[in-house]
Amino acid sequence: MSTSKVETVDIVIIGAGFSGMYAIHRLRHYNVVCLEAGDGVGGTWYWNRYPGARVDIESVEYSYGFDETLQQEWSWPEYFSAQPDLERYANHVADRFNLREHIRFSNPVDSMTFDERENRWHVYTANGDQLTCRYVIAATGSLTAPNLPPWPGREKFAGEIYHTARWPAEGVNFSGKRVGFIGTGSTGIQAMPIIAEEADALYVFQRTPAFCMPSGNRPLDEAHEQEWKANYPERRKQMLNTYGASLVNYADRSGHDYTPQERADILEQAWNSKSAFQLLFAFRDVLTDAEVNEMVCEFVRGKIRTIVKDPATAELLCPTTYPIGGKRLCIGSGYYEMYNRENVTLVDARTAPIAAFTESGLRTSSVHYDLDVIVTATGFDAVTGAMDRIKIEGCDSRKLVDKWVDGPTTYLGAMTSGFPNLFMIHGPSTPAAQAQMITTGEWQVNWTADIIDAMGRDGFTCIDVTPEAETEWAQEVEMVSMQSLHRFADSWYNGKNIEGKKGGLMIYVGGFPRFAQLCESAVADGYQGFVRK
Ligand code: N01
């Protein structure tokens, strides 16, 4: 719908992913409009429909907990659901809770400005909608803006080019094709084994090898499902009390406490646990002690050398430059095994980087590869990318991109000073993907909604955070990061996956319970760090 008339609403929510959808439900006692760029709900699970796309957290956990009937009536077919099932679930929730009446699809937000006299945001969409609202909730996602490295010659390539995060709904036919695949992160390791089965030839251009643990995905057995359903309210609470809001087994002993044989046995068990991420929590200090971390790295390298038959390929696949878990551990099915196929070739794009696309394929600094299809699984301009793409002007006409030019600054990951009445869910310096995002997203929406409800009750129309509170929060983020090994890996966590992007670690690695407690106590202590008027 295109209109030049300005509509007055209470709240604009940006994004109809899982957090945005729950925000509509939680705040529907206001006049709420949700603006969504895609033509369907589900956010990440709407856009990332590449072959093999699948969640890496058990679906009984990675689902909404806000409605007991919903969690009782829904059944997941597998332990780790595939994208079509997650999208089906998002659509079911949208229908069941009548969320669509609040959502405007194919209607991305183009710009927004804050009116300091009226304490209202003016929001403009690419379709020409103009809205004015008291509050904006940016549920824009951490992994929304695809990263497309600027290789020269893209336009010359005569074949097909795809980015995994913009996959065509009708799918891609790889049969009989020579496929070049760039990117060996979580996305690449899921997509490639499936593409390799169909394509004539698959060339994998690897810049940095990934640590990948087998997912152990399987049909969800009824006893497991019923056991969860019998205990859901309690389980949801337990999840929020764990580091990653997920019920893996968190060991309480150090890796140093064991003999080499005992360690090997524990790691073998974790590897076969069918519980994603168990390797990272097999000892309490995998993510904090470099020596223990290296023991786990070496265990995985041993697995790679055993699985991959060609020793040179195996060696190239062994990560040696960063700690395991320093960037997100990949969870896959048959990834390393794929390299034993005759039609798969691993190309070292570190020693010989990709130089350009050509009319007939792709050229590295040393070799030309003839290709029919190029797939880029090159990740995202993460955390800040979605917000940076909206022209956001706060107080004194200050632009958010200018404020964040050296990296994002926030208070509690929820607000940024000088941009009042703008709340972010999974914003910069929240745990984001360090914790299970549906459950923690619900938690953040509830916390935000409580603040908004209190604004009305207390007679305020404007809420901002102080620069001092932002500085203190940055110190907290830095302090917890110094206790973990995440800072030793270049990844989307610290923006180092994007050339020239500034800022340090953009996620909070102090664990979800500490994060939640700091958010709760800030509000309970008389809105510490906030200014309400
Ligand atoms: O992106 P990534 P992703 N030349 O940034 C390579 C979530 N997720 O889409 O490491 C050559 O991890 C880059 O190489 P390097 C999850 O949180 C979850 O895979 O920078 N290569 C890397 O190999 C995950 O962390 C699920 O050297 C280039 C790859 O592209 C996040 O999404 C599934 C390059 C990008 O890896 C992002 O994962 C999928 C260049 N110029 C994703 N530029 C599940 O739930 C980039 N690369 C299972």
Burial class (CB in 10 A: 0-12, 13-18, 19+), 230: exposed
Instruction: For residue 497, report the distance from its CA to the centre of ligand 1, in Å.
Output: 8
Question: Can you name the residues that pair with 391 across neighbouring β-strands?
Answer: 111
Residues 6+ apart with CB under 8 A from 268: none
CATH dotted code for 6-145+382-532: 3.50.50.60
Mutate which of 58, 364, 378 for ligand 1 pocket (most atoms within 8 A of beta carbon): 378
Q: Which of 303, 297, 296, 302 minimizes the C-alpha distance to 282?
A: 296
Mutate which of 61, 142, 186 for ligand 1 pocket (most atoms within 8 A of beta carbon): 186
Instruction: For residue 61, report the distance from its CA to the centre of ligand 1, in Å.
Output: 24
Question: Can you name the residues that pair with 122 across neighbouring β-strands?
Answer: 113, 132
pLDDT at 255 over 70: yes
Identify the pLDDT of residue 433: 87
Identify the pLDDT of residue 4: 66
Token pair of 24, please?
């509509």
Q: Which of 199, 204, 225, 169 minimizes the C-alpha distance to 53?
A: 169
Share of the chain above pLDDT 90, in %: 96
pLDDT at 348 over 60: yes
Q: Which helix (H) or strand (E) holds 465?
A: strand 463-465
Q: Which of 512, 532, 519, 517 minimizes the C-alpha distance to 466?
A: 532
At 377, the amino acid letter reads A
Q: For residues 40 and 99, is the Cβ–Cβ distance under 8 A?
A: no
pLDDT digits (tens, 9 = 90+) for 182-228: 999 999 999 999 999 999 999 999 999 999 999 999 999 999 999 99
Report the predicted TM-score, pTM, of the whole model to 2 decimal places.
0.96
Q: Which of 493, 496, 522 minimizes the C-alpha distance to 412?
A: 522
pLDDT digits (tens, 9 = 90+) for 423-481: 999 999 999 988 999 999 999 999 999 999 999 999 999 999 999 999 999 999 999 99
> pLDDT band at 513, cuts 50/70/90?
very high
Mean pLDDT, the chain, rounded, equals 96
pLDDT at 18 over 90: yes
Residues 110-136 have a mean pLDDT of 98
Instruction: For residue 393, report the distance from its CA to the centre of ligand 1, in Å.
Output: 31
Instruction: For residue 185, report the distance from its CA to the centre of ligand 1, in Å.
Output: 4
Boundaries of every domain in the chain: 6-145+382-532, 154-376
pLDDT at 2 over 70: no
> pLDDT band at 249, cuts 50/70/90?
confident
pLDDT digits (tens, 9 = 90+) for 88-100: 999 999 999 999 9
pLDDT at 1 over 80: no
Q: Lowest mean pLDDT: which of 3-17, 117-131, 351-365? A: 3-17
